[in-house]
Amino acid sequence: MNNFCLIGYPLGHSMSPVIHNELFKLKGINANYSLNEIAPENLKEKYSELKKLDGFNVTIPHKTKIIPMLDTLSQRAELFGAVNTVKIENGKATGHNTDCFGFLRALEMADIKLGGNVLLCGSGGVARMFAFESILAGANLTIAVRANDIPAANLIKKEISEKLQKNAEVITLDEVEGEFDLLINGTPVGMYPKVDASVLPKEKVEKCKAVFDAVYNPQETLILKYAKDSGIKYSNGLPMLVWQAAVAQEIWFDIEFSMDEIKKVLKITQEEMEKI
């Protein structure tokens, strides 16, 4: 039996075991997936145990802290400076980032194109990945944040300039105006329990052709309700969560998942989330 786990701190009620076990079932893989809560100060001493596994996933706060312990990094993990998936093979640990591929495939599933004029709200870890992927897709990127997050957004802008030789515009949320091909919410605004909040007002959301919200609890956030009411294409963050897990397994087992297979897992995940 292959053994995998998710490391992070704190982990709380993670959907990862549900998703991975359903993916294992789909492919007839005999594997075990568990949660392993590791405090930041214990990561180094626990790493030798992790290397005995076939692989593991990484979440906050270990996505960058794990990097010096690994043997090699994939191209995307190196670009983002963040790892969420580790494959152990012949005693060597390789760090990957599947969040980006989860995002791209989630957009594909919702028939949303990444390109044109993209408005990204947020400047945290996931927003940084959205920013890089938007630029890599050839989009014109505008990063909109609260006034006190301008330094963090400018740091992303600087990295994009240095690593990709491209430019991004940084503005405050109040300064958002005009039409956009895609609005991405990379902030936790609208997440349970503060479900009556939206990062942008309805009149600004309505001017976008599509909306992607990284939040998946609730499954229909206020910003997505605005999109739905306006007849705009939209997606929450749950397909991204399922796809990033699927891409991790594609790396671990050298397999491929189809859209139809992921739709099945997505349905089960949605049902499980409704029980929480």
Per-domain residue ranges for the chain?
2-97+239-275, 101-236
How would you write the pLDDT of the chain (276 residues) with one tens digit per residue? 999 999 999 998 799 999 999 999 999 999 999 999 999 999 999 999 999 999 999 999 999 999 999 999 999 999 999 999 999 999 999 999 999 999 999 999 999 999 999 999 999 989 999 999 999 999 999 999 999 999 999 999 999 999 999 999 999 999 999 999 999 999 999 999 999 999 999 999 999 999 999 999 999 999 999 999 999 999 999 999 999 999 999 999 999 999 999 999 999 999 998 887
Is 101-236 the same fold as 2-97+239-275? yes
CA 223/CA 207 separation, integer angstroms? 13
The catalytic residues are 63
CA 72, 74, 77, 79: dihedral to nearest 10 degrees?
110
2-97+239-275 falls under which CATH superfamily? Leucine Dehydrogenase, chain A, domain 1 (3.40.50.10860)
Fold observed for domain 101-236: Rossmann fold (3.40.50)
Side-by-side strand order, sheet with 233-235: 169-172, 140-145, 117-121, 182-185, 210-213, 233-235
